[in-house]
Chain A
Amino acid sequence: MAGALGLNSLIAPWARSAAADLRGMRPLSGNLFDLSVAHAATSIDGKKGHGVLVNGQLPAPLLRWREGDTVKLRVTNNLKMDTSIHWHGILLPFQMDGVPGVTFPGISPGETFEYEFPLQQAGTYWYHSHSGLQEQSGHYGPIVIESRDVDPDAVDREYVILLSDWTFEDPHRVFAKLKKMSDNYNFQQRTVSEFLRDSERDGFSAAVEDRLMWGAMRMNAADIADVTGATYTYLINGHGPGDNWTGLFKTGERIRLRFINASAMSIFNVRIPGLPMTVIHSDGLPVQPVETDEFQIGVAETFDVLVSPEDQAYTLMAESNDRSGFARATLAPRAGMVADVPTLRPRPTLTMKDMAMDHGAHGGHGSMDHASMNHGNSSQHSMTDEFMVHADMDHSDRDHASMDRTAINQESTNHAAMNHGAMKHDSMNHAEETYGPLESQRRTFTRGPGVVGIAANPVNRLHERPLGLEQEDHRVLVYTDLRARERNPDVRRPGREIELHLTSNMERYMWSFDGLKFSEVDEPIELYRDERMRLTLVNNTMMPHPIHLHGMFFEVVTNDGNYKPRKHTIVVKPGEKMSVDITADAVGDWAFHCHLLYHMHAGMMRVVSVVDEPIPA
């Protein structure tokens, strides 16, 4: 039953893509699929490239599934190295999840591996290699699962908009270069002329003070993205800005755009000037419709939006968040029409808040009572301290029981106990979510050469606009705008809390959780079957990280009671402390990692193991 469905504009809305010569995406549908992974040639903006592609296509074929079906996918490896396919966001038995070394051994050269799993959900998802750096080489594609029920979001036409980043360099070379000179792709550094501009704007002494502050910490306020437009061509549905992928529509149609960020490293800010977008799904699941003019999409996130274009062409603009480049497509009523392409906005600059050092501003949310938080002597910390250590930062006077089975590397020699009491936490995670104290494990925290800067004062930033969009005078989607359309399936209070720190040393290009790389950790993070757990993430780095848990959605702890947005990937902003609630209903081992490919490759990864036993009484 495998096979390509023709581009028949008379059938379903999703099949009504652009004319063939405008390369609308060709879907494969049914419940049996044959996929072949192989080296293949491709063309990006007219330049020949080489990729690791599925069925020779960039992106890989659009897989069109139906909720309730059981799909079987025969994946043949025609490479000379192992490969794999991970079904991103799909709820399935863990042994079908496709992560070599965690859920299966991988697919050897010449081998055909058979994936088979029932589809328990509908929505927009994607798939990609979880082997080496193949994802950077084009091994990714979209998945659309049709709802079994009548689709409340019925539209006249729909398009998948798959964003990605392409490099003509060998991805292993890219990683090696980052290890040699971590800022080598940054051609938007702060220069003397930027200093002169700033001193004109803010005064000479303010500009000097600012440079000294960053210099003292050896941190780079212009470090927005590790890998940039200096090597990347940003793609929409495999098309560079020059190729200008075009989606055609008839005036008066309501169109659903299924955005997927399949990049290795690029976070995009997406807008369609002149055309408001109504966000209806996030990470595949329905949210209460919210209209916006621009949204940020982290790596691996998906957003479905509705648009009702008029009789004109529109540019779909996806700027990389460091503004070093963009992906661009056109929506038009007739082939050949184009609209103006906006110029790139200036590179944003990181602030004290991104360093979690802004003691003044806490946004307008929740009751952040500083005095009650007993930060110890954190206000006395010199900004020039090597680590901004606050080992003595005891958020609570309560003595929490140590949870040895989930503590990571207790034996580590160089750590500070971080005993964050849950009671005070909750005031950071918005008042409505106060369940009372959760049992929070005593944290140990490794501060070795891999860790620069411990967030002295991390705050919840879910209600904040992403970096660089703060001053835009149009609407910008923030995470707290997202509310689940359906009541959360599990509204139990979390039984305990695990806190995990996102840590790094940009200079050495080291990325880790709790100061430990994946290679340094033996124990998984263990959850009990069906337990309800709160995971609190503290970003000690200067970069946003799209954090992804396989196998289970998490509820983002916003102000939304039992309608929290459910996601498989969440971007944790620099200097942010935020929480997600997880129902550990999927027994097995699951990967948990930063979805920036080179961060994961550098070690920002863990295994989350849901053991098949109930939580001890």
Chain B
Amino acid sequence: MMRRLHIATALALLLAGTAQAQNAADAYYDPQAMAAARAALKKSHGNQINSLVIAERMEYIQGDDEDAFVWEAQGWVGTDLNKLWVKTEGEYVDGEGTEEAELQLLFSRAVSAFWDVQAGVRHDFEPNPSRTHLVLGAQGMAPYWFEVDTALFLSDEGNVTARLEAEYDLLLTQRLILQPRVELNLATSADEEVGIGTGFFDSVAELRLRYEFRREIAPYLGVSWGGAFNNTADLVEAEGGDATGFSVVAGLRIWF
């Protein structure tokens, strides 16, 4: 039987030329079944769709004069190179309701080993009036293991703002991790309706200490200092508030 099959191969090769040689099994099995198996093999060896949801911060903030709940989460779905990326963050202030809530929908493209370029839209549901922005950003890992997320936003009012977030995981033990984090927001022009003046706003320096019970689940405690600077600080102070403040946070980091 084997010999007969070899003759069949030889004939197939003669008839089909070398193109046939790339799919030797077609001479022994239904070529259609082989084509389907080849396609499945290819997809399952490097072209899978994967996903991640990570809520990096879901925390309760005890500030100098108000308490709040803050969330920051992101998720992606896609291949190694192309992903649909969603980011959301916001703040609910005790007694006052949701003061900030934004959602970004981005296309993310891996452009180098450690960096993705991201483009899409961002909508701020709060504060009122709401704003919609075009987003162009880069997210990835800088040398020395700094996780960096940075973006430019062009609002429907024509305002350009920039955001830079950077964090670092310092492993005290295998599960106890100290994470310094900075976030800088910079406005090139004022958008006073939503409380933004030129210069730095919503900028913080923070430190969180988390314990990874499992890699996926980690409660934490932390401290945060920052707030409004430059012209935004003037706006806040004109309303009788403190431009910057110190707060203590407690929260949960989860991913799945």
Contacts and interface: CB of A to CB of B under 8 A. Distances in A.
Interface residues of B, number: 52
A104 interface: yes
A520 B46 contact: yes
A121 B81 CA distance: 44
Contact of B45 (A93, A104, A519): A519
Interface stretch (B138-146, B153-161, B197-205): B138-146
A193 interface: yes
B41 interface: yes
Interface stretch (A45-53, A327-335, A466-474, A603-611): A603-611
A215 B42 CA distance: 34
A185 B214 CA distance: 10
Interface in B131-182: 141, 143-145, 170-175
B29 A609 contact: no
Contacts of A95: 5, 24-25, 28-29
A180 B29 contact: no
Contact of A191 (B2, B33, B44, B171): B171
B159 to A, nearest CB: 33
Interface range, A side:
35 or more
A181 B216 CA distance: 10
A101 B141 contact: no
Q: Which among A212, A451, A589 has the greatest number of chain B C-beta atoms within 10 A?
A: A589
Given A94-B24, A100-B40, A508-B110, A193 B80 contact: no
Interface in A118-174: 132
Contacts of A175: 48
Nearest to B39: A101
A189 B171 contact: yes
Interface string B73-107: 00000001100000000000000000000000000
B194 interface: no
Contacts of A190: 171
A607 to B, nearest CB: 8
Q: Which among A95, A132, A387, A517 has the greatest number of chain B C-beta atoms within 10 A?
A: A95
B50 A176 contact: yes
B243 to A, nearest CB: 35
Contact of A104 (B10, B18, B29): B29
Q: Would you call the interface of chain B mostly helix, strand, loop, or mixed?
A: mixed
A215 B44 contact: no
A519 B51 CA distance: 19
A518 B21 contact: no
Contacts of B47: 517, 519-520, 603
A395 interface: no
B246 to A, nearest CB: 26
A218 B143 contact: yes
Contacts of B174: 187-189, 191
Contacts of A603: 45-47
Contacts of A100: 37, 40-41
Contact of B145 (A215, A600, A612): A215
B29 A105 contact: yes
A180 B78 CA distance: 11
A181 B215 contact: yes
Contacts of A254: none
Nearest to A508: B80
Contact of A519 (B37, B43, B175, B215): B43
A188 B21 CA distance: 48
A549 to B, nearest CB: 16
Interface in A437-480: 448-452
A537 interface: no
Contacts of B145: 215, 218
Contacts of A300: none
Contacts of B21: 526, 609, 611-613
Contacts of A508: 80, 110, 113
A433 interface: no
Interface of B: 2, 5, 9-10, 13, 18, 21-25, 28-30, 33-34, 36-48, 50-52, 80-81, 110-114, 141, 143-145, 170-175, 215-216, 255
| A-B complex: 9 closest residue pairs judged by Cβ atoms | A603-B46, A101-B41, A517-B46, A519-B46, A519-B47, A449-B110, A215-B144, A518-B45, A105-B33
Given A101-B42, A448-B81, 13 more contacts: A179-B48, A179-B50, A180-B50, A188-B174, A191-B173, A386-B112, A387-B113, A451-B113, A452-B113, A518-B45, A519-B43, A601-B45, A602-B45
